[in-house]
Amino acid sequence: MTDETPKMSAEETAGRAMVARTTFEKEAVWLPMLAVQHWNVGEMAIKDKTFTDCVIEGPAVMAVMNGTTFDSCAMGAATDVKTLLYRPVSQDKMAGVIGVSNCRFVRCRFVQVGFTGSDELIAELEAGVQTASGAAS
Amino acid sequence: MTTSRLPINREVRVAQDLTATVFKDLDVNLFDLHIAAHGAALGVLTGRTFRGCRLQGPAIMLVSAGVRFTDCNFGEPDGVMENLVLRPAGARALGTIPFRDTLFDGCEFYNVGFTGPEDILNTLLAVGKN
Q: What is the pTM of this model?
A: 0.90
- Based on the structure, what is the number of domains in chain B? 1
What ipTM does this complex have? 0.91
The Cα of A107 is separated from the nearest Cα of chain B by a number of Å equal to: 19
Asked if residue B32 is part of any domain, the answer here is: yes
Work out the average pLDDT over A81-94. 88
The Cα of B1 is separated from the nearest Cα of chain A by a number of Å equal to: 33
**Domain residue spans of chain A:** 22-128
Rounded-to-integer distance, Cα A64 and Cα A97, Å: 10
Rounded-to-integer distance, Cα B115 and Cα A59, Å: 14
Asked if residue B17 is part of any domain, the answer here is: no
The pair phi, psi for residue A119, each rounded to 5°, is -55, -40
The predicted-structure confidence for A6-48, as pLDDT tens digits, reads as follows: 678 888 898 999 999 999 999 999 999 999 999 999 999 999 9
Interface contacts (A, B; CB < 8 Å): 130
Asked if residue B128 is part of any domain, the answer here is: no
- Residue B35 near residue B60 (C-beta atoms within 8 A): no
Asked if residue B52 is part of any domain, the answer here is: yes
Element (H, E) at B98: strand B97-100
Interface contact A96-B87, CB threshold 8 A: no
Q: Which range marks the domain in which residue B34 is found?
A: 22-115
